[in-house]
Amino acid sequence: MEYTSGTVGRVILARVDHGEDLLEAITTLAEREGIEVGLVLMLGALESGRMAQGPEALTLPPVPVFTGFSDGRELLGAGTLLREEGRPVLHLHGATGRAGATAVGCLRDTAGVYATVEVVLLELALGAVRRPDPVTGLSRLAFDP
């Protein structure tokens, strides 16, 4: 394990509206506000999306199992936002639900908002970035010296 510590800076409260892409909206907000490192919390509803829900097998690098939906679902999620090669990269996990069925996974590529999603973005004052890791094949959390 590696870790660092820091403080919480600005707190940004945002509303993402019906028809917007949630992932794009959060990364655009981070770019506009100059957020280098952040913690993202959200709740609301998605019309559609794509999720990674585990690997096909327990091998590295992982081959993700993808599922998609377009039936409208409630959303509760959390993630991190870090820079990779200067651009904000979001790692966002969410739990979605509809009519008693629940799915949990990493929201990827697209997440269309239904009605609204409320987002809290906590700016973290600490030295961290994302860097490609050749062993895992992932873009992992790394700490600046």
Q: What is the pLDDT of residues 92-101, one digit of tens each?
A: 999 999 999 9
Backbone angles phi, psi at 70, to 5 degrees: -150, 35
Q: CA nearest 77: which of 27, 23, 133?
A: 23
* 81 Cα distance to chain centroid: 7
The answer to whether 29 touches 14, Cβ cutoff 8 Å, is: yes
In angstroms, the CA 140 to CA 129 distance is 8
pLDDT at 119 over 90: yes
pLDDT at 89 over 90: yes
Rg (CA), the chain: 16
Helix/strand/coil (H/E/C) assignment for every residue in 86-107: CEEEEEEEEEEEECCEEEEEEE
The pLDDT value recorded for residue 145 is 67
H-only helix segments in 12-106: 22-33
The answer to whether 126 touches 46, Cβ cutoff 8 Å, is: no
Least-confidence region, from 14-18, 32-36, 140-144: 140-144
pTM: 0.95
- Helices first, then strands: H and E counts in the chain: 1, 8
- pLDDT over 70 for what percent of the chain? 99
H helix or E strand, kind and range, residue 74? strand 73-84
What is the residue extent of each domain of the chain? 14-133
CATH of domain 14-133: 3.30.1330.80
